Amino acid sequence: MPRTTLKIPWSRLETSLGEQLGDGAVSRRPLDLHALAHDASHYLLTPELLVRPTSAAQVAAVMAACDRAGAPITFRSGGTSLSGQAVTDAVLVDTRRHFTGVEVLDGGARVRVEPGVTVRAVNARLAPYHRKLGPDPASEGACTLGGVIANNSSGMHCGTELNTYATLESLTVVLPSGTVIDSAAPDAEAELAAREPELVDGLLALRRRVLADPDSVATIRRLFAMKNTMGYGINALLDFDSPLDMLVHLLVGSEGTLGFVASAVLATVPVHPEVATGLLVFDTIGAATGSVPELAGTGVATAELLDAASLRVAQQDSRCPPRIAELAVDEHAALLVEWQGGDRAGLEAALEAARPTLDRLPLTTSARLTRDTRERAALWTVRKGLFSAVAGARPAGTNALLEDVVVGVDVLGETCVALTDLFAAHRYEGSVIFGHARDGNVHFLLNERFDDADSMRRYAAFTEDMVDLVLGRGGSLKAEHGTGRIMAPFVRRQYGDELYAVMWQLKRLIDPRGLLNPAAVLSDEPTSYLQDLKPSPPVEEEVDRCVECGYCEPVCPSKDLTLTPRQRIVVRRDIQSARAAGDHGLADALERDYDYDGTQTCAVDGMCQSACPVRIDTGDLTRRLRRESAGRLADAAWAGAARTWGTVSPLGGLALTTARLLPSGVPAAATRVVRAVAGADAVPLYDARLPGGGSRRRELAPDSPAAVLFSTCIGEMFGTEPGGHTGELGSGATGALVELCVRADVPLRTPAGIGGLCCGTPWKSKGMSSGYAVMAERVVHALREATEEGRLPVVVEASSCVEGLVVMLAERAPDLRVVDAVDFVRDTVLPRLDVRRTDRTVVVHPTCSSERSGSTEALVHLAQAVATEVVVPVSWGCCAFAGDRGLLHPELTASATAAEAAEVAGIVARVTPHPDPSPAAEPGFVSSNRTCEIGMTRATGHPYRHVLELLAEASRA
DSSP string, 287-299: HHHHTHHHHHTTT
**Residues of the chain whose pLDDT is less than 50?**
1-2, 5
Euclidean distance between CA atoms 337 and 17, whole angstroms: 51
Q: Distance of CA 754 to CAs 318, 321, 759, 789, Å?
A: 34, 39, 11, 17
Assess contact for 389 and 614: CB atoms under 8 A.
yes
Euclidean distance between CA atoms 144 and 116, whole angstroms: 6
Sheet containing 102-105: which strands, arranged edge to edge?
102-105, 110-113, 260-267, 168-174, 180-182
Residue type for position 836: R
Mean pLDDT of the chain: 92
Assess contact for 235 and 163: CB atoms under 8 A.
no
DSSP state of 825: I
pLDDT tens-digit readout, 400-447 = 888 899 999 999 999 999 999 999 999 998 888 998 999 999 999 888
What is residue 593's three-state secondary structure? helix
Assess contact for 104 and 126: CB atoms under 8 A.
yes
Euclidean distance between CA atoms 498 and 506, whole angstroms: 13
pLDDT tens-digit readout, 275-328 = 999 999 999 999 999 999 999 899 999 999 999 988 988 888 777 888 888 889
Assess contact for 336 and 359: CB atoms under 8 A.
no
Assess contact for 365 and 284: CB atoms under 8 A.
no
Q: Distance of CA 693 to CAs 486, 659, 716, Å?
A: 59, 10, 7
Other C-beta atoms closer than 10 Å to the C-beta of 661 total 9
Assess contact for 816 and 781: CB atoms under 8 A.
no
For 947, phi then psi, to 5°, come to: -60, -30
Nearest of 446, 518, 445, 440 to residue 479 by alpha carbon: 440
| pLDDT at 919 (0 to 100) | 62
Q: Crossing angle of helices 30-37/584-594, nearest 10°? A: 90
For 392, phi then psi, to 5°, come to: -70, -20
Nearest of 454, 452, 447 to residue 428 by alpha carbon: 447
Nearest of 829, 861, 862 to residue 742 by alpha carbon: 829
| pLDDT at 1 (0 to 100) | 33
Assess contact for 65 and 26: CB atoms under 8 A.
no
* Contacts for 694 with CB less than 8 Å, ≥ 6 apart: 653, 715, 716, 717, 718, 719, 720, 731, 732
Helix then strand then coil, in percent of the chain rounded to 5, is 50, 15, 40
pLDDT tens-digit readout, 319-378 = 788 888 888 999 999 999 999 999 999 999 999 999 999 999 999 988 889 999 888 988
For 467, phi then psi, to 5°, come to: -60, -45
Euclidean distance between CA atoms 316 and 771, whole angstroms: 34
| pLDDT at 250 (0 to 100) | 98
Assess contact for 74 and 91: CB atoms under 8 A.
yes
Element (H, E) at 489: none
Sheet containing 26-27: which strands, arranged edge to edge?
26-27, 49-51, 91-94, 73-76
Cross-strand bridge partners of residue 104: 111
Euclidean distance between CA atoms 152 and 148, whole angstroms: 6
Element (H, E) at 318: none
Cross-strand bridge partners of residue 304: 336, 436
Assess contact for 923 and 842: CB atoms under 8 A.
yes
Euclidean distance between CA atoms 863 and 769, whole angstroms: 38
Taking the CA atoms of residue 245, residue 250, residue 252 and residue 258 in that order, the dihedral angle to the nearest 10 degrees is -120
Assess contact for 892 and 939: CB atoms under 8 A.
no
Other C-beta atoms closer than 10 Å to the C-beta of 479 total 27
For 327, phi then psi, to 5°, come to: -70, 135
For 275, phi then psi, to 5°, come to: -140, 140
| pLDDT at 913 (0 to 100) | 74
Q: How big is the chain by its Cα radius of gyration, in Å?
A: 29
